[in-house]
Chain A
Amino acid sequence: MGETNFLIKLLGDNLITVLLISALPLGFLVVYALLAILGELKISAWMQERVGPMRTGWKGVLQPLAEVIKLIQKEDITPDAANKPLYNLAPYIVFTGAYAAFAVIPFSEFFVPSGINLGLFYIFAVGSIGAIGIVMGGWASNNKYTLLGAMRSVAQLISYEIPGAMAILSIAVLSSSLNMQEINKAQTGWFWNWFMFGGPGSYEKLWVIPFTLGLTLIYMIASLAETNRTPFDIPEGESELVAGYHTEYSGMKFAMFFFAEYANMFVVAAVLVTAFMGGWNSPFGSFLSGPLWGAFWFIGKSFFVIFVQIWLRWTLPRLRVDQLMYLGWKILLPVSFICFLFVSLFRMLN
């Protein structure tokens, strides 16, 4: 499958390179999380005609850093009645689930931490690890609110895996590959070659565009549910469950949950970008394309998706548990099946 990793080319295939490759996404993740928290704070503020944090640094840009420092300093409280090993382990498992997904995310033409052939499948497989961590934390806290939050979270994650997977499956059909890098390569060219717009092809593909757009939307909705974002933030719905599954957590362990949420946001945004929006491909054909520009486009597109997630969060109210299930099983799933059917038909005809 060729060398897709510039670090291996540069340093050779040894242990240090492997460590470096795995450290690179972590470093990116830290910087990205700070940026995303700042974005969340500022975008929500501007949408509500506020100014957001203004005291730390120029216009408050250092606010996320200050919050991280605050969380590190905070006393780490473990409830007396909690199941201590599980309670302490839970946040790290949640974060592991989020971070493991970074292994197959193609940041650029020449950098993907691990170019395995089952990339998309892998992401869906490790994405569910987070649910275990959430249940663990919710149950081990020995608190009724956290237990309710954890129960809701599992139900939600499991139900929304399916429409999300259906959407991704259609991409696998269109690109005839599960390798993230191959999917990207299949979308080279102008933006109408993205799978969001039916993938590369002539005018014959026009009739399939509504279905691919629908699949994009379905994946977007399902990804919101998988990352516990509004309108699907019922596991931590603060108006009824105080803070949901992480009610009892404080200090650095809470920070891990928080970090994992933002990491997950990036993962689903990256999958959406890779599968539907051309990944690291420039939207303008060969204009501004190349390995470095590729990273720029990829991260830029992901940030746009994250912006949409933030935008939705500050616009919509929260769904109820049964409505969430209704949406997942009775709307998204049938619609994704229909879209999948037509996309497969399109693939067969060509």
Chain B
Amino acid sequence: MNETKKIQLEYSQMESDRMRLNVGPQHPSTHGVLRLEVEIDGEIVTEVIPHIGYLHRCFEKHCEKMTYPQVIPYVDRLDYISAMNNEWPYVMAVEKLLEIKVPEKVEYIRVIMAELNRIANHQIAVATFGLDAGAFTPFLYFFRDREYILWIMEKCSGARLLFNYFWIGGLAHDVYPSFKQEVLDAIKQVRKTNAEVMNLLIYNKIFIDRTANIGILPADVAINYACSGPTLRGSGVKWDLRKDDTYSIYNRFDFNIPVGKGEVGQLGDCWDRNIVRMYEMEESCKIIEQAVAQMPDTGDVKEAIPAKLRPPKGAEIYQRAENPKGELGFYVVSNGTEKPDRIKARGTSFVNLSVLPVISKGYMFADLILILGSIDIVLGEVDR
């Protein structure tokens, strides 16, 4: 104890030059066009300042010039690797403004699609996290599997990434006849690969050493910074909007909310945030299995789509949903015309990114990249 203190004291008295390092926006592992201004002392990070805005596209202002259905393609482009989940809170918000009751079949298809997209998103999150740690092979295994999911979505919506599938009051297109079987096959494949990656990457000693005990995010800090999603749950807080603020038909399904337990290191480290994503994929598989079993075969997915979209003047709503990355919310104000008066998006990645400077101080420079990877940001949503 005394010895460590003495070393620390000596260290603090040492005069060392600090170097300012500019990481990004063209850095290979800043997950997009994020720029981090890093101050390092040798290899140790002393300060991190994220600079954002390289992908700003004026989403919110743009929406004011759009009719309500025209906003949906733009919503896709926020968090572009989980577009189905982005569409959902927006569509729900407008549906609530218009007081539309969505048909049963549509709700089930939406749940299946959103959960499939959650799996696809977490696959990318874990894959790129592994890539940040230097493991290239699991990355490609995940991308191989993601193809099965994207293929289902392409057959349903016609697009692979930016679906524009959830429409206000319904869906763009009905599912095809062999949909249920293909979904179950895809889940089977997802489970198989997850089991493999657990051995290949997650429980690898080098990977554990790299990711455990770094970037520790205590639960109170996480809550203070309004973190959500796996970033918050990795710190052991059981908070999932699908259970805690149930929307759609999530109360019909039986699933758990995985939280970080500090299995290999301290609670709330990078490994915990990552393992939450792995477990969530399994929970999503469970939800999809139940939804596929309960889904009605008949029903028109377009029957509730309104011909005229004019919410009452002055009506406003904040609708949130559990995006794969956390809480995504849309605040919509109507002015009685077919165009919204104001749309504000609560970007998950933006809020989660704000915690980065706090949790990355005092770790090594290589850890900073992993901490950034474990938060799982998409710059499309940060900058909007």
| A residues at B contact (CB < 8 Å) | 44, 47-50, 144-145, 148, 152, 230-231, 233-234, 237-240, 242, 314-323
Q: Check if B204 sits within 8 Å of A316, measured CB to CB.
A: yes
Q: If A148-B43, A315-B200, A319-B210 touch, does A47 touch B28 (CB 8 Å cutoff)?
A: no
Map CB proximity to A onto B117-137 as digits: 1 under 8 Å, 0 otherwise. Answer: 000000000000011111111
Least CB separation from B143: chain A residue: A48
| Interface residues on chain B, number (Cβ under 8 Å) | 30
Across-interface contacts of A318 in B (CB, < 8 A): 133-135, 206, 210, 366
Flag whether B27 is at the interface (Cβ < 8 A). Answer: yes
Minimum Cβ distance to chain B for residue A79 (Å): 16
Q: Check if A317 sits within 8 Å of B133, measured CB to CB.
A: yes
Across-interface contacts of A239 in B (CB, < 8 A): 28-29, 131-134, 366, 369
Flag whether B317 is at the interface (Cβ < 8 A). Answer: no
Q: Report the separation of the CA atoms of residues A317 and B130 in the bound assembly, to the nearest whole angstrom.
A: 7
Q: Report the separation of the CA atoms of residues A132 and B137 in the bound assembly, to the nearest whole angstrom.
A: 32
Flag whether B365 is at the interface (Cβ < 8 A). Answer: yes
Across-interface contacts of B367 in A (CB, < 8 A): 320
Q: Check if A49 sits within 8 Å of B210, measured CB to CB.
A: no
Across-interface contacts of B364 in A (CB, < 8 A): 320-322
Q: Check if A238 sits within 8 Å of B28, measured CB to CB.
A: yes
Across-interface contacts of A323 in B (CB, < 8 A): 206, 209-210
Q: If A240-B369, A317-B201, A319-B206 touch, does A48 touch B137 (CB 8 Å cutoff)?
A: yes
Q: Check if B365 sits within 8 Å of A148, measured CB to CB.
A: yes
Most central of B133, B134, B140, B200 by chain A CB within 10 Å:
B134
Across-interface contacts of B134 in A (CB, < 8 A): 230-231, 233, 237, 239, 316-318
17 CB < 8 A contacts A-B: A44-B136, A47-B137, A50-B140, A148-B43, A148-B365, A234-B366, A239-B28, A240-B29, A240-B369, A242-B28, A315-B135, A316-B135, A316-B206, A317-B130, A318-B134, A318-B210, A320-B366
Minimum Cβ distance to chain B for residue A327 (Å): 9
Least CB separation from A152: chain B residue: B43
Map CB proximity to A onto B356-369 as digits: 1 under 8 Å, 0 otherwise. Answer: 00000000111111
Q: If A144-B19, A144-B21, A239-B132 touch, does A314 touch B366 (CB 8 Å cutoff)?
A: no
Map CB proximity to A onto B1-42 as digits: 1 under 8 Å, 0 otherwise. Answer: 000000000000000000101000001110000000000000
Flag whether B225 is at the interface (Cβ < 8 A). Answer: no
Residues in B326-384 with C-beta less than 8 Å from chain A: 364-369
Across-interface contacts of B136 in A (CB, < 8 A): 44, 48, 314
Minimum Cβ distance to chain A for residue B124 (Å): 15
Q: If A49-B140, A314-B136 touch, does A320 touch B29 (CB 8 Å cutoff)?
A: no
Across-interface contacts of A47 in B (CB, < 8 A): 137
Choose from A48, A233, A242, A322 the contact partner of B141 (Cβ within 8 Å): A48
Q: Check if A242 sits within 8 Å of B210, measured CB to CB.
A: no
Q: Check if A319 sits within 8 Å of B209, measured CB to CB.
A: yes
Return the 8 tightest CB-CB contacts between A and B, nearest first: A318-B134, A317-B133, A317-B135, A48-B140, A239-B29, A317-B134, A240-B369, A239-B132
Known: A49-B140, A152-B43, A237-B134. 16 other contacts (CB 8 A): A44-B136, A48-B141, A49-B141, A148-B43, A231-B134, A233-B134, A238-B28, A239-B28, A239-B131, A240-B29, A242-B27, A315-B137, A318-B134, A320-B209, A321-B366, A322-B364
Across-interface contacts of A242 in B (CB, < 8 A): 27-28
Minimum Cβ distance to chain B for residue A162 (Å): 21
Q: Report the separation of the CA atoms of residues A46 and B21 in the bound assembly, to the nearest whole angstrom.
A: 37
Q: Report the separation of the CA atoms of residues A231 and B206 in the bound assembly, to the nearest whole angstrom.
A: 9
Q: Report the separation of the CA atoms of residues A237 and B134 in the bound assembly, to the nearest whole angstrom.
A: 8
Map CB proximity to A onto B169-203 as digits: 1 under 8 Å, 0 otherwise. Answer: 00000000000000000000000000000001100
Q: Report the separation of the CA atoms of residues A50 and B143 in the bound assembly, to the nearest whole angstrom.
A: 11
Across-interface contacts of A319 in B (CB, < 8 A): 206, 209-210
